[in-house]
Amino acid sequence: MKNKRPVLLISLAAGLLLIGCAKAEEARVDKEPDVFDKSDIAMGTVVTERIYTQGEDPTDQILELLSQTEHKYLSWRDADSDIGKINEQAGKGAADVDGQTMGYLEEALKLAEKSAGAFDPTIGQLALLWDVEAEDPEVPSEKEIRQLLEDTGYEKIRVSSENGTDQVELEEGCSIDLGAVGKGVGCDEAAAFLKEDPHVQGAVIAVGGSVLTLGGKPDGTAWKVAVRDPRGGQEDLLGVLELEGEQYVSTSGDYEKYFIQDGRRYHHILDPATGCPADAGLISVTVLGENGAVSDGLSTACFVLGKEKGAALLEEYGAEGIFVDQEKNVYITDDLMEDFRLEASGYVVFPLSP
Ligand code: ADP
Ligand code: MG
């Protein structure tokens, strides 16, 4: 994995310079950082934080930031969020949105195009129809699926930025769901916040299946990010990634949210081409990309695309990944191979190349 240390060293050096100006602060530079741990619910998932800082405990502020990100920008459930407003206006005209929302939406649209629609931010109605987390989920009828597919398609979204106003317009019947990038966006917001704080030396934050690592640990050892065994229990690991500095890791799998009907597994990642759960042979996809939104979106897109097309998409983004298929083969991109340690038995590792 490309080492992002130089950037980090520069920003740390800038922080030290600032502190160096104030004599009274000098003692702080050498002080061992405190470690703050927190685990709570935000963005509809479990958030786990560990932060090394010479300053105050920032863990609650990050939880607050994640909730704000969800309610202000992303949530389709929230009529007052930007996405809620866009959906409400579908077929009636354009909605004004915050630049932040626009940025994330443009990232999602770029991924939709590059993945030839395997990632599609208009899949929300179909996700609701399948509702795999319902108490008594059921496979919907073909007719229902076909009807909703007609209102699905990222080309039904129009974005424009004129005179400093960002606007989004949706065709009637269509709606936007950024669920597949939401947790990654949360990691991006947390990273931006922590990078502003010169006291923070290192952090690892997991927002559900999306993980951010930043800076380093006081003992200088690598961050360890666990990848779950897709066919094991909650606590079982496929393996561990050892990473340095700023990284964004997201995993999508068929084991997170699913139900079984007539012996078949129906999970929450849909193939927009069929309106049904993706069935390209993969059971887990982990991606390391340039930011959280990209990593999260790519893990969903690659899951839908399958091994060959997924590998090509990773290459296009300069991203790294670990794909696990139904035969328990684990495919890893070259640069990541030496950072991953397989722990689960029954799996075999191979290189992943397009
Ligand atoms: P999780 O929500 O478990 O982290 P993902 O990041 O893979 O999982 O996102 C899955 C969610 O994204 C689904 O719950 C659904 O709302 C939405 N989704 C499902 N399939 C797609 C797809 N092909 N493109 C975009 N979003 C999708
Ligand atoms: Mg995702």
Taking only the tens place, the pLDDT of each residue in 94-117 is 999 999 999 999 999 999 999 999
- Tell me the CATH class for 72-106+121-179: mainly alpha
The residue contributing the CA closest to ligand 1 atom 14 is: 268
Ligand 1 binding pocket (C-beta < 6 A) is 119-121, 123, 127, 177, 179-180, 183, 208-209, 252, 256-257, 268-270, 272, 296, 300, 304
Q: Return averaged pLDDT per consecutive 10 residues of the chain, 354 residues in all.
A: 41 37 46 95 97 98 97 90 96 96 97 98 95 93 97 97 93 96 98 97 97 97 97 95 98 93 94 97 98 98 98 98 98 97 97 89
pLDDT at position 4 is 42
Q: Concatenated DSSP letters for 111-126?
A: HHHHTTTSS-TT-HHH
**Cα first-last separation, the chain:** 17
Ligand in nearest proximity to the CA of 249: 2
Residue 340 confidence (pLDDT): 98
Q: How far apart are CA 123 and CA 117, in angstroms?
A: 10
pLDDT at position 353 is 84
Instruction: Report which bound ligand comes closest to the CA of 208.
Output: 1
Q: For residue 171, with 0-12 CB atoms within 10 Å meaning exposed, 13-18 middle and 19 or more buried, which class applies?
A: middle
- Distance, in Å, from the CA atom of 90 to the CA atom of 88, rounded to the nearest integer, reads 6
Which residue type does 276 have?
C
The protein residue with its alpha carbon nearest to ligand 1, atom 10, reads 180
CA atoms lying within 13 Å on the CB side of residue 83: 27
Per-residue pLDDT tens digits for 12-65: 333 333 333 344 444 445 678 999 999 999 999 999 999 999 999 999 999 999
Which of 192, 215, 214, 189 lies closest to 72, judged by CA?
189
Count each helix (H run) and each strand (E run) in the chain, helices first. 11, 19
* The CATH fold of domain 7-12+33-69+181-352: T-fold (3.10.520)
What pLDDT score was predicted for residue 81?
A: 95
Q: Which pLDDT belongs to residue 27?
A: 43
Q: Which of 249, 270, 276 to mutate to test the pocket of ligand 1 (most atoms within 8 A of CB)?
A: 270
Its pTM stands at: 0.91
Nearest CA to ligand 1 atom 23: 119
Q: Which helix (H) or strand (E) holds 100?
A: helix 99-114
Ligand 1 centroid vs 323 CA: distance in angstroms? Answer: 17
Q: What is the largest distance, in Å, between two alpha-carbon atoms of the chain?
A: 72
Distance from Cα 258 to the centre of ligand 1, integer Å: 12
Contact 102, 168 (CB under 8 A): yes
Q: Where are the beta strands (DSSP E) in the chain?
A: 34-42, 45-53, 95-97, 157-162, 165-170, 200-207, 210-215, 223-228, 237-243, 247-253, 258-261, 264-267, 270-271, 276-277, 282-289, 320-325, 329-333, 340-342, 348-352
Q: What angle do CA 108, 101, 99 make, to 5 degrees?
A: 120
| DSSP conformation letters of 132-178 | TTSSS--PPPHHHHHHHHHT--GGGEEEEEETTEEEEEE-TT-----
In the chain, which residues fall in CATH 1.10.3980.10? 72-106+121-179
In this structure, which residue's CA is closest to atom 6 in ligand 1?
180
List strands edge to edge, sheet with 340-342: 223-228, 237-243, 340-342
At 27, list the tokens: 């003692």
Q: From the alpha carbon of 252, which atom of ligand 1 is closest?
A: 7
pLDDT (0 to 100) of residue 30? 62
151 φ, ψ (degrees, to nearest 5): -95, 5
Nearest-CA residue for atom 5 of ligand 1? 180
> For residue 267, how far is its CA from the centre of ligand 1 (angstroms)?
10
Residue ranges with CB less than 5 Å from ion ligand 2: 180, 252, 296, 299-300
